[in-house]
């Protein structure tokens, strides 16, 4: 994890540059799902305090309660009624709402904290509703660098979030954290 920590710190230390060509400013921090607590310890106990001491700007978006904040009671009641009629359609609708809500939240953070590093953590709490391939496709023009916790792995060029296929067309830089 020390090598990953150095890579994350070096990447976050680079000035945010808005290039003429729109690219993805996302960095996926890929680690085994069973190492979630080790990853959080590394990030909160070593990485973020180091960035703070160095005066490197960053924000943290903790998604632990995101799904509870994302949906209104009436939406959930309506979806619950649909569950028995068509479970698959209900789950897809829930996923689309969660993904679009996450995109909106990330865009708002980007506008509020332009040029900073945004660490997106507790992504594990969005499983199985959110596919980050879908989210990142809609976030090509953010005004900040986004470092996203990604509990999963890359297999044969495809990413798996929590051991479930998550799409493949990522323009995001991938940093794999070895244990």
Per-residue pLDDT of the chain (179 residues; tens, 9 = 90+): 788 888 888 888 888 765 444 456 788 999 999 999 999 999 999 999 999 999 999 999 999 999 888 888 887 777 777 666 777 777 888 888 899 999 999 999 988 988 899 999 999 999 999 998 888 888 877 888 899 999 999 888 888 999 999 875 567 888 888 76
Measured CA to CA, the distance from residue 146 to residue 119 in angstroms comes to: 6
Contact 115, 57 (CB under 8 A): yes
- Please state whether the predicted TM-score (pTM) of the whole model is above 0.85: yes
Measured CA to CA, the distance from residue 146 to residue 149 in angstroms comes to: 10
Contact 28, 150 (CB under 8 A): yes
């Amino acid at each position: 994890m020390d090598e990953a920590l150095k890579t994350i710190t070096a990447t976050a230390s680079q000035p945010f540059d808005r290039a003429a060509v729109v690219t993805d400013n996302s960095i996926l921090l890929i680690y085994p799902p069973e190492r979630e607590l080790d990853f959080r310890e590394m990030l909160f106990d070593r990485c973020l305090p180091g960035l703070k001491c160095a005066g490197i700007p960053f924000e943290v978006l903790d998604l632990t309660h995101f799904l509870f904040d994302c949906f209104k009671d009436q939406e959930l009641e309506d979806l619950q009624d649909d569950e028995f009629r068509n479970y698959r359609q209900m789950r897809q609708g829930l996923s689309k709402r969660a993904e679009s809500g996450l995109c909106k939240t990330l865009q708002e953070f980007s506008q509020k904290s332009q040029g900073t590093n945004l660490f997106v953590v507790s992504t594990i709490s969005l499983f199985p509703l959110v596919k980050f391939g879908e989210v990142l496709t809609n976030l090509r023009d953010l005004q900040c660098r986004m470092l996203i916790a990604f509990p999963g792995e890359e297999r044969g060029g495809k990413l798996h979030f929590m051991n479930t296929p998550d799409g493949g067309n990522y323009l995001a830089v991938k940093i794999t954290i070895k244990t």
